[in-house]
Amino acid sequence: MNKRVEELLQSWGNDKEQVPDFFSKGIDNILMDLPGSNSVVVETKPKRNSWIGKGLVAAAVLTFGVIGSGFVSPTMAQVLKEIPIIGSIFGGSPDTSLQMIHEQGLASQLNETVTNNGISLTITEAFLGGGRIAIAYTIETDKVVLQDISKNQGVPLSFDAQLNGQRFDYIAEFEQHVNGDVATGIIDMDYGLSYSLIDQPTLFLNVNEIAGVQGTWNFELLLGNEATSAATEGFAPLETATWDEATFVVERVEFTPVQSQIIIDSTMPRKEMGNYFFNLFDENGTSLGFGGGSGGAVNDLGNGMVNFRETVLLPGRKEAPNGLIIEITNNHGILGDPENYMEVNVPLSDTVFPYTINYSDGSKLIITGYEQLANKTIVHYDIEGMLSLQNTFLMLWDHNGEVITELTEPERTSLGTLSFKREFDKSEGPITLHTSMEKVSTIDWKQIEIDLRD
C-alpha cells in the first residue's frame, strides 16, 4: 500500500472538521423536541404486504430442498458428540440467562446441517420464550479462517429470518468460539411482541454469508417445546389504572428463566404520548430489572385519542413473583432543562452516616455506609419514595477524580426495609459518591400493585 496515501488518510482522520452551521442547528432542533423521558419505546410499525412474506417463504422452502444435504463430517460429528459432555453451546455462554436454557433443559434439540461452498452450518439447539429466540450453531470449514467473537462485538454470519412465513422485527447479537476448523456460536434475538405467537412457531432462517463467504444455508426450525412451556409462568391480570385522560391495562405478564415480558395496552391523548414510562418491581418493591422494550402500531381512536401496546422486556426469572408493582411516571411533556439539574457530591470518607440526599419530589436516598475491601468497594443505601430510586445513577470517584468501575447491579439487602448495596471496583484512600438530581421536580409518579396469584 502506498505509504503517502496511508499518511494522508491518517492525517485526514485526525482533522475533526467543523460541521455546517445548518446541520448543527438541525441537530439542536431535534434535541430540543425530544420527549422528556426516553424510557418507553413507542414505534409505529408499518403493515407489510403479506405477499412479500409468502413469496420469500416459498423461495426459502424451494432453496432448502435443493441445498439441504444433512452431511455431517467426522469432525463435526465429534463436536456434536462432545456438546452434551461440555454442557451444550448454551451452557458455555458467558450470558447467564443463556446458560439457564441449558441448566433447565429448555432447548429444542435440532441438529440440522446444511453444507454450501465448503462450509457446513449446523443448528444444534434453539430456544423460544419471553420475547427471545436463541439459536445455537456450529460451523465447520477449512476454506476460511473462523474468528472468536464476544457478544455484540462482531457478525459471524448474515441472515434473514421469518416466523410462520411472516417477516418480523428483531435485534440480533452473536457470540462465537473457535476451536480449529470448527466454531460454536449463538444467535441471540430479541423480538417485539406485536406478534402473537403460537406455542410452536416455525422459524425460517436463511443464512446468506458466513465468515465473508456468500452462499445459501436455509433452515426451517420448529421452535418451542414442552419444557419451555412448563418453565413459563404466564398471567393475564387485566389490571387497569388511569391517570387523567390516560388508561393503562396490564394485559399479559410472562416469566421464563431466560427472559420475561410485560405487555401494557395504553390509551391516551396523542399529545401525551411519550410522557409516561414504566418501572417494574416485585411485590416487595425489588426492581425486576430492564431488558429493553418495543411498541406496536399506534391506532388513532379519533377525538385526539390513540391506543397502542407496549412490551417491556425483563431479565429471566426461575420463578414468577407473587405480585407486581408498576411505577408509572409522568413528565407532563416538560423537557429536561439543564438549568434544573444539580450535581451532588458526597465525600464518603468525611461523612457521618446515615447521610440523606433529599429529592425535590420528596423521595430520599439515605447512604448508610461503605466498605473498602481488598477486592471491591461496597456502598450501602436505603431509599424512600420512588422505588426507581434504587437504580438511580451513582458513581464513585477516587481521590484523583478517576471513576471507580461499577461491578454489579443494585442488590436488595433486606426485605424488611428498602435497603440496597452496590459494588464497585477496589479503591484506596478517600472516595466520593457522585449523583445528580432535578432542583425542582418535573415528574409525578404513581404505583399500581397487582397480585398475580389472586
Partner 1 sequence: MNAEMLVKRAQLGDKQAFVQLIKGMESSLYKVSKAILLSDSECLDAVQETILIAYTNIHQVRAPKFFKTWITRILINECNKIRKVQTKIVKMNDYLEPTTNEQPEVFVDLQTAIDSLEPELRTVITLYYYEDLSVKEIGTILEIAVGTVKSRLNRARTKLSSLIEGHKVEGRLLHE
Q: Which residues bind partner 1 (CB under 8 A)?
A: 1-2, 4-6, 8-10, 12-13, 16-20, 22-24, 26-27, 29-31, 34, 36-43, 144-145, 147, 149, 151-156, 158, 171, 190, 209-212, 277, 290, 292-293, 335-336, 338, 341, 391-393, 395, 403, 436
The Cα–Cα gap between 238 and 258 comes to 24
Q: Nearest distance from residue 290's CB to partner 1, in Å?
A: 6
Nearest to partner 1 of 108, 294 (CB atom): 294
By beta-carbon proximity to partner 1, the closer residue of 200 and 360 is 360
- Shortest Cβ 334–partner 1 spacing (Å): 10
Residue in 373, 374, 354 with CA at minimum distance from that of residue 365: 354
C-alpha 440/C-alpha 212 separation (Å) is: 54
Taking the complex as a whole, how short is the minimal distance between the CB of residue 454 and partner 1, in angstroms?
30
Query: Which residue, 253, 243, 307, 304, is CA-closest to 42?
Result: 307
Pseudo-torsion of CA 387, 389, 390, 391, nearest 10°? 120
* Grid cell listed for 124: 444444534
State the nearest-atom distance from the C-beta of 23 to partner 1, in Å: 5
Q: Which residues contact 229 (CB under 8 A, 6 or more apart)?
A: 199
In the complex with partner 1, which residue's Cβ is closer, 42 or 79? 42
| CA angle (418 as vertex; 412, 419 as ends), nearest 5 | 50
End-to-end CA distance of the chain: 71
CB of 153 to partner 1, least distance (A): 6
Q: How far is the CB of 24 from partner 1 (least distance, A)?
A: 6
307/309 Cα distance (integer angstroms): 7
How many angstroms separate the most distant Cα atoms in the chain? 74
Residue number, 59 or 145, with CB nearest to partner 1? 145
Shortest Å, Cβ 22 to partner 1:
7
CB of 161 to partner 1, least distance (A): 13
* Length in residues, the chain: 454
Q: Is 292 exposed, middle or buried (0-12, 13-18, 19+ CB in 10 A)?
A: middle
Minimum CB separation of residue 295 from partner 1 in Å reads 9
Question: 190 vs 272, which CB is nearer to partner 1?
Answer: 190
Q: Reply yes or no: is the peptide bond before residue 354 cis, omega within 30 of 0.
A: yes
Residue whose CB is less far from partner 1, 235 or 445: 445
- CB of 156 or CB of 185, closer to partner 1: 156
Closer of 130 and 156 to partner 1 (Cβ): 156
The count of C-alpha atoms lying within 13 angstroms of the C-alpha of 303, restricted to the half-sphere facing its C-beta, is 5
Nearest-approach distance from CB 258 to partner 1, in angstroms: 15
Retrieve residue 312's grid coordinates.
417491556
User: Which residue, 235 or 397, is less far from partner 1 as judged by CB?
Assistant: 397
Pairing mode of beta strands 246-255, 299-302: unpaired
Residue type at 79 in one-letter notation: V
- Count Cβ atoms below 10 Å from residue 269 Cβ, excluding itself: 15
Contact 332, 445 (CB under 8 A): no
- Residue 1 or 440 having the CB closest to partner 1: 1
